[in-house]
Structure 1
Amino acid sequence: MEERLQGRDDISYEVRKRNAQGLPVSYTVHYRMLSICGVEEEERLNEPGIQNFPKFAGEFVLIIDIPAGFPAVDAMPVYSFQTTGPDNEDIPHPWHPNIRYYGAFAGRVCLNLPDTYTDIVQTVRRIAEYLRYERFHAKNEPPFPEDLKVARWVMEQGEPNGWIYFDQEERRVD
């Protein structure tokens, strides 16, 4: 992973846990890039006449857990953004149709592409594309978005208003 992410100042990682053979089985990945982390007036999400302007954050933390048996098809890594900090406080996590924002599985990343099943570094890069909104699937059709509420916002507000096409250089994090 070190060689393939070398030279990227927007992505760093650390090994969280190793197995008995010394191989990494869990990583923490830090993304330092501007992305949408929620919307204003979230309690009135997608109400007619209400514009839910995006809110932004500049850092996100992804946890990768690699099960025993990887890379077998039934032993795929789990990619999930942290949503709570060490003191159980909420921390910003991505607002993206292919990343669960609400509920018990908040932070879970949906990948649905064969090359993401075994190439962890390629998946880390793909998730960076999610954060920059270079890649997303918001239509309620196969392969289906991970979070339908966020997907609806993308289709009805984010795309029509150009909010998902933000310029990282000009946008500032509050």
Structure 2
Amino acid sequence: MNETINNYNQKDLSGRDARLWKEWKELDTLCAKRKASSANPRQPSLSYIIRRKNVMGLPTEYEIWYRVKSIVGVKGNTIPREPIFGHLHKMSIVLPNNYPSADGNPIFTFRTDIWHPNIRYSGSFKGHVCLTIKEMGVLASLKDLVLRVEQYLKYQLYHAQNTYPYPEDQNVAEWVREEGEPNGWVRFGQDKPEPVAPTPQKSEEVKENKPVIKSRTI
């Protein structure tokens, strides 16, 4: 565990700071386990960098590095367009000042190209990740969300149908439905799924409305 985390006494923290410390500790423990189990500890499947801290020295912005096989684009303009794969993907997590609250959801944005129907591939909101956080509830932890994104990258989870909660990128969703699925190109990361923590209970203030998310397995 990062020694800096141990410099804090959990009993001295409350409210937002207590949540920030808890999220940091859980994420650090997860990444430490990945590093310990990796064949190359210098290149674990999951790692993080702290990009910004608050006045208490607690993280408010992270950069997450995923080292997994994922689709980063497609070849050419002739249908069917084969996928292009990459193996290093960088995502930022920004925790707004009113996090955690129903109006203070964390903002997940990829800084590298990702071709997934629930991640914006182009435009002014390029890289934005749709996580249906409202359905998961404000108790959803950063660790759970980071693992959920990893399932996105492996195409263990995706929603490509034009139904609620609707794809984040309609062009990618159309490719998935009409080219990726028929040719089996989205069935590359389901052989060895990573363990994922159960989805947290919905908060009482949020009405449950489960999204329809497709999952493909080999």
TM-score for the superposition, normalised by structure 1? 0.83
What SS class does the counterpart of residue 176 from structure 2 fall into? helix
Q: CA deviation at 1:119?
A: 0.9
Structure 2 unaligned blocks of 5 or more: 1-26, 35-43, 192-218
Superposed CA offset, 1:40-95 (max 9, x none) = 11xx3xx7xx2100001110000000001210111111000004xxxxxxxxx110
**2: CA distance, partners of 1:116 / 1:58:** 31
| Structure 1 partner of 2:179 | 157
What SS class does the counterpart of residue 27 from structure 1 fall into? strand
Moved over 2 A (4+): 113-118
Superposed CA offset, 1:126-172 (max 9, x none) = 00000000000000000100000000000001011000002589xxx
> Given the alignment of the two structures, is residue 7 of structure 1 paired with residue 33 of structure 2, yes or no?
yes
| Structure 2 partner of 1:99 | 119
> Given the alignment of the two structures, is residue 111 of structure 1 paired with residue 131 of structure 2, yes or no?
yes
Q: CA deviation at 1:22?
A: 1.2
Q: Does the CA contact (< 8 Å) of 1:13 and 1:27 recur in 2?
A: yes
Q: CA deviation at 1:6?
A: 2.9
Identity among equivalent positions (%) equals: 41
> Given the alignment of the two structures, is residue 77 of structure 1 paired with residue 106 of structure 2, yes or no?
yes
* Structure (1/2) with the larger strand percentage: 1
Q: Does the CA contact (< 8 Å) of 1:116 and 1:123 recur in 2?
A: no
| Structure 2 partner of 1:39 | 74
**2: CA distance, partners of 1:32 / 1:155:** 26
Distance change >3 Å, CA 168–CA 135, structure 1 → 2: closer
Where do 1:116-127 residues align within 5 Å?
Answer: 117=138, 118-127=140-149
**2: CA distance, partners of 1:69 / 1:52:** 42
What SS class does the counterpart of residue 129 from structure 1 fall into? helix
Letter in 2 for 1:20: V
Q: Which has the higher contact order (CA 8 A, sep 6+)?
A: 1
**2: CA distance, partners of 1:167 / 1:78:** 25
TM-score for the superposition, normalised by structure 2? 0.67
* Structure (1/2) with the larger helix percentage: 2
| Bigger Rg, structure 1 or 2 | 2
Structure 1 unaligned blocks of 5 or more: 84-92, 170-174
| Structure 1 partner of 2:162 | 140
What SS class does the counterpart of residue 108 from structure 2 fall into? strand
